[in-house]
Amino acid sequence: MKYSSKSNLFFSLGLVLFTLAMSWLFLLTPRAHNIEIIKPDLNTVQDSLASFQFQDMNPEREGLYWVKFTTAPMIYPLKHLKLRTMNCVHEMSTQHGDWNLPTDLNARCDNSAGFKLNNTGPSLAKETTWHFAGSTKGDSYGVLLEKDWSDVPVALGLLLVAGSLMLMLFAKLPAMTLPERVFVVAVLGAAFLFRFWLVFLKAPPEFSLFSDMAGYFHRGEEIMRGEYTLSQLFQPAGFTLWSLWLRRLGGFELFNWSQVFLSWGTVVLIYLMVRERFGALAGAFSALIAASYMPLAGFATFHMAENAYAFLITLFLWLMMKTLKHERLSGYLSMGVLLALAFYFKGNHAFFIPILGLWLLYRERQHLTRAFVKVSVMAVGCLLIVVPHMAWTWKHYGKPQLGPTAGALNFIEGKCPSKDNADSSGARWMSPLFHFTNERTFKQWDQPFTNQSYYWKEGLKCVAENPAVLVSSLRYIYYLAWGNPLWPIISNPTQELYYPWESFFYYAMLPLTLLGLLVLRKSEEPFNKATILLMLSLFLTVWFFKSENRFRVPFDALLISWGSLGAAWLSRLAVHVGNLLIQSPIVIQITDQEKTAGTKPDQT
């Protein structure tokens, strides 16, 4: 009881410090309001959510742009700010006068790291309107006015955030001994700072808006303006709405913080699962592996659903572990909520939902009534998310939608010869996988991609014409790990960290994962069986549709768990073998020449 009280006290203190530190950091943020952007074609964007405009590269759209926004008076005006640029900025002024910008074009053009603005305190102390003029070569353009993380007041706030998180972990982690607790807290604290560095300094999501990331951004902008088209449901709407809500509330800074905490939360949940199931040594290995796991960390630097989806899947796994252990109906309800919520971020686990229900019924086939109640409660949890989604789509799109409209096109990609597809509305889609496999057959369709019934029929025609594709589609299981690099991480500055990590994955992580599965081969633990079913359902999903390396990453909590168990087992084996070698007598034979030299035989 005494330890519990002390633990609660430390946790409460950490929570208070964390809240104060985050409030302090947001207090120091020069938040832009009333953003107005004049495009090169002289069209004006009013009340934009960001002080930049994304657009695909098109030399015909090159020209000048202008950005104007207002910052409110700050309680603690910073003396230094940082200005990041997309394309070039040539002039900067406020109502207090012009600013001298660097003369070096490399500093003013496409500078994602940003350059320092000095003596900004007077401008931040009062309401200020900022004006920028620049030019674009035809792609994205604009500026980002931010606090400088190397500035002392800002750096102290960041250190307090990290310290308060570590204090809360120290108070509540299930580590038994002090050395174990200190080690794990240090690793998890480093994991948090690593993700902060990636998201805020190394590769901010704002500077990687292309392909899927740009699609989410555009759909959010359209919804904000009250423009609703069915094409906005091509991918699940969950991430679009999540990102839009965060950016309206706190700009890209709040969104970026959410990316950091979701990625870090995935690491913490992996440790908690492994520590509870396999003990301290495996838990320590899982903390080390998950903290430095580049695919999970790298996805945090992109404006896309994978980072949040990985967190939701890992949270579901942790909750399922607890639920199958304690068998509470509230756990099954929460499992249903999480499964449905994750589905509206990415649908790669869709087949697992009915498979899990059938397995629960089979597992308790001797008590079918009890099993049916559990499955029904889980179904109610799913409906708590599905019904509002269908109501929202009915209101804004004219008919209720159960899920995204991309499923039929994905089926076409996986089962038909055409891998590069364009529809009647001008949309064009090609999976990165087929770029790397050099499968680039193009087809122009006379129906929009949102016409799912048409594309399902066309996909089934392809299967009827070439039934062997059902066998060749097994290759998509292989592509979950091999045959294609991890897109889009290979497309931003995190790639220099990813490629060294890739060697570790193939030559250490996968063998350790297989070893861990061998150790568990006779386990009757229900959670172990459920996780095997989850991975098999992913194989079924990619066989039915298509795959990429990134489709696996949100489920890598399982690989890390199994790999950590394999590493722990191998470590114990090494220690055991070492002890046997130390304890076994080794006879050293002495030659006649050594005997004559007076050497006595030695046995150890």
DSSP string, 479-546: TTTSSS--TTGGGSTTHHHHHHHHHHIIIIIHHHHHHHHHHTTT---HHHHHHHHHHHHHHHHHHHS-
- HSE value, Cβ hemisphere, 13 Å, CA-based, for 490: 12
CB burial of residue 227 (10 Å; 0-12, 13-18, 19+): exposed
Beta bridge partners, 83, equal 115, 145
Place of tokens 């009647």: 424
Cβ neighbors of 487 (< 8 A, separation 6 or more) are 432, 548, 549, 550
SS3 2: helix
Q: Exposure of 602 by Cβ count < 10 A (0-12 exposed, 13-18 middle, 19+ buried)?
A: exposed
Q: Which of 340, 373, 369 is nearest to 354 (CA)?
A: 340
Positions of the chain with pLDDT lower than 50, given as ranges: 1, 586-604
SS3 readout for 33-97: EEEEEECCCCCEEEEECCCEECCCCCHHHCEEEEEEEEECCCCCCCCEEEEEEECEEEEEEECCE
Spatial distance between the Cα atoms of 137 and 55, rounded to a whole number of angstroms: 11
Q: Angle between the 368-397 and 352-363 helix axes, to the nearest 10 degrees?
A: 160
- Cβ atoms < 10 Å from Cβ of 573: 11
Provide the residue count of the chain.
Answer: 604
The answer to whether the beta carbons of residues 204 and 112 sit under 8 Å apart is yes
- For residues 260 and 195, the answer to whether their CB atoms sit within 8 Å is yes
Helices (H), 327-406: 329-343, 352-363, 368-397
C-alpha to C-alpha distance for 253 and 243, rounded to whole angstroms? 11
Is the bond preceding 77 in cis, omega lying within 30 degrees of 0?
no
Q: pTM score, two decimals?
A: 0.93
> Which structural domains are found in the chain, ordered by start?
1-172 (2.60.120)
Pairing of strands 115-118, 128-136: unpaired
Per-residue pLDDT tens over the stretch 123-178: 999 999 999 999 999 889 999 999 999 999 999 999 999 999 999 999 999 867 89
Number of neighbouring beta carbons within 10 Å of residue 582? 9
**pLDDT reported for residue 603:** 42
> What was the pLDDT predicted at 581?
83
Query: Which tokens is 1 given?
Result: 């009881």
| E strands present in 436-495 | 442-444
pLDDT in tens, 194-230: 999 999 999 999 999 988 999 999 999 999 999 999 9
Round to whole Å and give the CA distance between 272 and 275. 5
- Nearest one of 410, 213, 187 to 299, comparing CA atoms: 213
Angstrom distance (rounded) from CA 50 to CA 56: 17
Compute φ and ψ for 99, nearest 5 degrees: -110, 145
